[in-house]
Structure 1
């Protein structure tokens, strides 16, 4: 299933909630649910490729860093002379070229000492970068600095970075945050400690280089979030990985996720293929879905809310399947639901059972209790879907996760 087909799975329950249900809700509840609907709408219906502008001096490892994200030889790596002559937005697709993509601006290196291999029509690297930024607005600036050069000509580089951010602000009316990346940390002393995980002495030197760059950036630039050290080296042969010396890349990818707009999350999860990122996104989606269904279940709304609650749950399950990279079709969704021993009317059953119980035990509080149960039921489905689609657990293990979450009356984290 491609992006457009997946999008149609998410549209109907959102449309129903906006047109049929929200107008019937009281003000405070309506405001809360509408906020969560906006969030899911951003994730499900407005999704696009994440966009990074990678800036740094020649030799800072920009192309190598791109390859490490893609886990494929997506950008030409220059061994001696500068390769990237024209600032170029690279679009990388998943293997089938349909499901997910990422846009990265790999720029001419700042402070070049030679003419790039690729032809260029601009007099200097800074002008070239501005031309590239005219076309698309990056979500984040990644400022790459080689570990051994965090205090070498850094002031001039930062001034150029500030100029680029100002250019984006005036052109796109947005100021992208800056995340510093200290590259090639494997080259720091001691020289014999080259293979991750590194020993204590090496880690101290890595921490020192990262802290130095972070302090320098924060003294000069507003909006610097953090500095992350990485080793990004990978070797390929016939487009297959034959050597992998990456270090701290998974943590870096997860940190970037937390500073990307929600509209990029689905693509980011699929392109990185990192399970921790997939779980994080799935839990975030599940939390919103649980809050929505908890709010709906607590209201004295007629039976019309049943297809909406169920629709939210089905859309949540579908999105988790999509995030996982698994083949997504109606059969796979129904197989998951069947593995739990439930049917698509489960949400209504949870709601009605809670109301009946509350009338006996808690007279007058039935709607509140049923809202809690609807939230628990949705969160249980979320955790089961993560176990099934992302963690690849067996049907029996998935059912255990589902039943145990319900039994413990576990609610999503606040």
Structure 2
């Protein structure tokens, strides 16, 4: 998240100093909130995904569906994917780091392939880096065709990851090309009893195979990812189905440092909102924990800085690039009057004037947590839900009042 560099490093330093100053009993609780906050905001990075599957299983099509653009070539005759290698799929909304592999079990090898066996090639690629998750792709019509052999390759990849990197990679088994199941004439969202029954049958078959092979940390998700693009890369047709469910699950199982970028890339509002609320919860717990010890208002910059970082993160998550103007827009939504000359490093003090008392009073944990939660909810309304400034301002007031009433009980 390079666009956040003007503000987040200073936030990190402030949080580290604040944690050091806390009484011993409070440190573990607040430290966990700090870890979540830092991993999601300050250590955010591109997700790393590995794609496995036989030739024609739809790896390239699924990559394009996840990115919303034709970033992977699709081989219509011979295998297009060459030797397994890491590459970055770049889009206007963010990047994906991908380990794409030639089809497991291919009898024809792409020109770029330099090993006879796909697993040997994969082993070499995994020496360089490791994926956050493995996506095993199987065509809906092939769930009972040599599936045991394919899943043994998945098990081998997980063994390699455990041996080389001490990492148990979650497996997402994707049933692809469900549009090819009968009746083919039915278009998404597949509101047809026979179509749905055939999809469920394919999913159940793959689930049973995973169980028999003893592959844990796995979930089966059926999708349709076919699309056509013109010469300029514009999508001119698609029959996408259930891609949102796949993305939502990926965000759940990815390391926290990769969740924000995956949600941003997805452009799926429900996924972005759910991810944003994780950040809001961490920031609220952090602010409340810091405020639970007597910290004079003159020294509460770690709390206000936490709130600034939260706004920055939610704005980025929504697909906006961080800028002074974006942060100022949000502050205006809460009723702040800021001059054009304010720099990002000064915004924490500005937010402090909105939320906190002045004159040497001690901030209560409840007020700090309530204010932070309300700021986060208002940011979700404004940046992710595209609400008006007035609507965001109203949500801030309402959520802050709700939180304060709960605190009184």
Q: Normalized against structure 1, the TM-score is what? A: 0.89
Q: Is the CA contact 1:86–1:119 (under 8 Å) kept in the aligned structure 2?
A: yes
Partner of 2:104: 110
Q: Give SS of 2:403's match.
A: coil
Q: Give SS of 1:84's match.
A: coil
Q: Give distance in 1, aligned partners of 2:319 and 2:236.
A: 24
Shift of residue 313, structure 1, vs aligned partner? 0.7
The equivalent position to 2:308 in structure 1, one of 284, 309, 314, is 314
Partner of 1:126: 119
Partner of 1:274: 268
Q: Give distance in 2, aligned partners of 1:205 and 1:388.
A: 42
Q: Is the CA contact 2:46–2:262 (under 8 Å) kept in the aligned structure 1?
A: yes
Q: Give SS of 1:409's match.
A: helix
Q: Give distance in 1, aligned partners of 2:31 and 2:327.
A: 26
Q: Give SS of 1:143's match.
A: strand
Q: Is the CA contact 1:347–1:374 (under 8 Å) kept in the aligned structure 2?
A: no
RMSD over equivalenced CA pairs, Å: 2.2
Match status 1:213 vs 2:211: no
What per-residue deviation string (whole Å, max 9, x for no partner) do you get for residues 13-33 of structure 1? 2212222x2233223322111
Shift of residue 86, structure 1, vs aligned partner? 1.5
What per-residue deviation string (whole Å, max 9, x for no partner) do you get for residues 81-112 of structure 1? 211122132311123xxx73111111010121
After superposition, residues 16-165 of structure 1 pair within 5 angstroms as 16-19=14-17, 21-95=18-92, 100-116=94-110, 118-165=111-158
Q: Is the CA contact 1:218–1:224 (under 8 Å) kept in the aligned structure 2?
A: no
Off by >3 Å, runs of 4+ in structure 1:
342-353
What per-residue deviation string (whole Å, max 9, x for no partner) do you get for residues 274-315 of structure 1? 222221221111111111111222322223442121111111
For structure 1, which runs of at least 5 residues remain unmatched after alignment? 357-365
For structure 2, which runs of at least 5 residues remain unmatched after alignment? 338-348
After superposition, residues 355-374 of structure 1 pair within 5 angstroms as 370-374=364-368
Q: Give SS of 1:258's match.
A: helix
Partner of 1:334: 328
Q: Give distance in 2, aligned partners of 1:14 and 1:33.
A: 14
Q: Normalized against structure 2, the TM-score is what? A: 0.90
Q: Is the CA contact 1:294–1:375 (under 8 Å) kept in the aligned structure 2?
A: yes
Higher mean C-alpha displacement, 159-168 vs 146-155: 159-168
Q: Give distance in 2, aligned partners of 1:194 and 1:5.
A: 40
Higher mean C-alpha displacement, 68-77 vs 167-176: 167-176
Partner of 1:361: none
Q: Is the CA contact 1:318–1:328 (under 8 Å) kept in the aligned structure 2?
A: yes
Q: Give distance in 2, aligned partners of 1:228 and 1:320.
A: 28
Shift of residue 346, structure 1, vs aligned partner? 5.2
Q: Give distance in 2, aligned partners of 1:218 and 1:305.
A: 55
Q: Is the CA contact 1:55–1:144 (under 8 Å) kept in the aligned structure 2?
A: yes
Change (3 A) 1:334 1:192: closer
Shift of residue 191, structure 1, vs aligned partner? 3.0
